[in-house]
Amino acid sequence: MRISIFALAAFALASASCFAQRIPSQPNRAACQRPAPGSIVTEPAEIRSHNGVLKADLTYVDFTAPNGQEEYCYLSKHGNEAPTLRVKPGDLLILRLKNELTPLPDPAGNSTVQGPAAPAGNSRVTPMAMRVSAPCASATMTPLSTNLHFHGLTVPPTCHEDDVLRTMVQPGSASFEYKFRIPLDQPPGLYWYHPHVHGFTNAQVLGGASGALIIEGIQRVNSLLAGLPERLFIVRDQNLVHPDAQPVQSGNVPPPIVLRDPEGDILNSGTGGGKPAKDLSINFVPVPFPDYQPARILIRPAQREFWRVLNASAITYLDLQLLVDNVPQPVGVVALDGIPIDEDSNAPGTHAAADKNRVLWESHIFLPPAGRAEFIFNGLPAGAHASFVTRTVDTGPAGENDPTRPLATITVSLTAPELASRLPVARTPLPHLAFAWLGDVKPVRTRRLYFSEVPQDPKDPNSPTVFMLTVEGQKPVPYNPHSRKPNIIVHQGDVEDWIVENRTRELHAFHIHQIHFMLLDWNGVPVAEPFLRDTVNVAYWDGKSPQYPSVKLRMDFRDPRIVGAFVYHCHLLEHEDGGMMGTILVTRKVSHHTASSAPASSGRFRGSKVVTSAKF
């Protein structure tokens, strides 16, 4: 079985040139300096829970890199950048976020915010104006606004937990507290946190605003992992450090002509090479075009390890491969998108114990932006020559260029440092699942959604692109953050099937907050996957086939914690910022005679039998 996770107009992109004129950096920004190309890959600093509580302070700052690019940085109180949060199911997470982004100077010398597209229609918002807004209700989106999305967690979409529709933390305001309990039934695995301010998410994530969140206990699902040392790799993308450099010519083949889309990104060349749309880094060690000097990973001889990889890129796809003397090596995949590959083997009365300890041995792993993979690395003998690479990805004729390139060389050394983290030896099984396996549940309805794109100016095909994600039967329009009407209303407790089509000439990655889903079929061909996802790729249209590429997904709205309003979108963040997003409202079922006595709320949506107090 092949692991393939294929399976801007309203809010223009916040350009690097806009952010390059900020007020000079404050002293604490020196801690955000990134490693040089060719550096040894080190593990991110960790913050672990103690006695059932993880309490941490993060300061969110920006700084201008020597090449003029704007970078973003989460700093712990000890000055560590983008710390990994490690919690156990049932732990209480208390995270205090302080926004210290710096405003732009205006020509008169006053500190103001000047964004390329202020969602409220304002071109200038003073810090004082932002400070008086309540973070839970402001919804004021500017280049300096921020918040946190805890990607993949099944926690309530409410303020102080995981709301991105209304919660906006502005510079100059007091530290904002996120406080929620990790669900006892949250699958153990790799999750992550990043900002989610519509219109400006792409710029902040491109600048490095991301960190990992690990739910402990995966060895309790797969006992083969018990006692293994573990590594975490976060692959991020960023604007090209050397945008004017030419690709290295191979033999007598001239480098492909560089073409750009209306947003300025380098288009897919279709050659497997050429200039990439974005540079990549691994744990902040850059691997810049055109030389691609790889980072360095040091390992001990013949040491089996557990690797976790997060694609925290804003728009770049990865097709990961481990090469030894240029020969692909299998890796043992045990989890995707935070979900262990064990199907429902720990549910009572189902599936024999043989379903446990499942490992899928693969020669490469395809990860869209936001995708995660966790796998067994079998180790290497002394003297082996190995590398960790990403292969070329065909993103379509309108997609970005993602060529083959190295991420790191792997050096086997007796003096390689001992890894800081090791999975416990204890193998106590996890509690039984609360719900039946999603694949065994009959859906109550089927919906159809589709990705589409149009030029902002219909008379000018080279004008910026308007990106849309539309429910069949509704008018195709880009996401409007001022609308208080959800695109979809569902009942908590329901299971639905969604068919998501791609009617464009480039790849898109479908993602939904708060839940995971099951891939049922790929372009009409049934698949049987023993795991769930929160992000899935949808192939691009060839421009002539009568059938659009599609995926069929079984959507799980059974968990009562997800009642409220949240979003689904393309996780190529340039597309999300440009309007490729929709809203969903999960309501509680009530009878007619109790609906009228529900508490009043300006954000309430009513159907014939539903009511909710969630604010949109």
Q: What is the mean pLDDT of residues 351-360?
A: 66
pLDDT of amino acid 134: 78
Per-residue model confidence (pLDDT) at position 322:
97
The pLDDT tens digits of the residues spanning 313-330 come to: 999 999 999 999 999 999
Residue 516 has pLDDT above 70, yes or no: yes
β 365-367/360-362 pair status: unpaired
User: How distant is the alpha carbon of residue 378 from its chain centre?
Assistant: 27
Confidence at residue 132, expressed as pLDDT on a 0 to 100 scale: 42
User: What global pTM score does this model have?
Assistant: 0.88
pLDDT value for 610: 32
pLDDT at position 333? 97
Q: Minimum mean pLDDT among 58-67, 294-303, 344-353: which range?
A: 344-353
What pLDDT is recorded for position 139?
61
> Each residue of 226-237: pLDDT tens digit?
999 999 999 999
Does 607 have pLDDT greater than 50?
Answer: no
Nearest CA to 282 out of 300, 309, 307 is that of 309
* The two three-digit tokens of residue 139, written as one number: 């919804």
Closest Cα to residue 146, out of 169, 166, 175?
169
- Closest Cα partner for 477 from 506, 443, 453, 441? 453
The band of 589, judged by pLDDT with boundaries at 50, 70 and 90, is confident
pLDDT by residue (tens digit) across 24-38?
344 456 678 899 999
Calpha distance 111→130 (Å, rounded): 13
Give me the percent of the chain exceeding a pLDDT of 70: 82
Question: Which range has the worst mean pLDDT, 95-109, 120-134, 251-265, 370-384?
Answer: 120-134
pLDDT above 60: residue 223: yes
The mean pLDDT value for 455-482 works out to 95
Across 11-154, the runs of DSSP E, i.e. the strands, are 46-48, 53-64, 70-76, 84-87, 92-99, 104-105, 111-114, 124-125, 149-151
pLDDT tens digits along 286-300: 999 999 999 999 999
User: Which pLDDT band holds residue 391 (cuts at 50, 70, 90)?
Assistant: very high
pLDDT at residue 66, rounded to an integer = 82
pLDDT band at 343 (very low <50, low <70, confident <90, very high): low
Q: Which DSSP helix (H) or strand (E) runs through 201?
A: helix 201-206
pLDDT at 244 over 60: yes
Query: Mean pLDDT over all residues of the chain?
Result: 85
Q: Which of 36-45, 145-154, 349-358 is least confident?
A: 349-358
**200-219 burial by CB neighbour count: b if 16+ within 10 A, else e?**
bbbbbbbbbbbbbbbbbbbb
pLDDT band at 72 (very low <50, low <70, confident <90, very high): very high
3-state secondary structure of 214: strand
The answer, yes or no, to whether residue 598 has pLDDT greater than 50, is no
φ/ψ (deg, to 5) at 4: -125, 115
**Mean pLDDT to the nearest integer, 21-25:** 40
What is the pLDDT confidence band of residue 105, given thresholds at 50, 70 and 90?
Answer: low
Greater confidence (129 vs 155) lies with 155
Sign of CA dihedral 520, 526, 528, 531: negative
What CATH architecture is 438-611?
Answer: Sandwich (2.60)
pLDDT in the model for residue 119:
36
On whether the CB atoms of residues 384 and 412 are closer than 8 A, the answer is yes
Rg (CA), the chain: 23
- In tens, the pLDDT along 144-174 reads 999 999 999 999 999 999 999 999 999 989 9
Tell me the DSSP string of 281-331: EETTEEE-TTT---EEEEE-TT--EEEEEEE--SS--EEEEEEETTEEE-E
Ranges 61-70, 353-362, 544-553: which has the least confidence: 353-362
Residues 311, 315, 321, 326, CA torsion sign: negative
The domains of the chain are located at 438-611
Q: CA nearest 486: which of 407, 385, 563?
A: 563
Q: According to the model, what pLDDT value does residue 104 have?
A: 55
The pLDDT assigned to 615 comes to 36
Portion of the chain with pLDDT greater than 90, in percent: 73
Q: Note the pLDDT of residue 157.
A: 98
Q: Note the pLDDT tens digit of each residue in 186-199.
A: 999 999 999 999 99
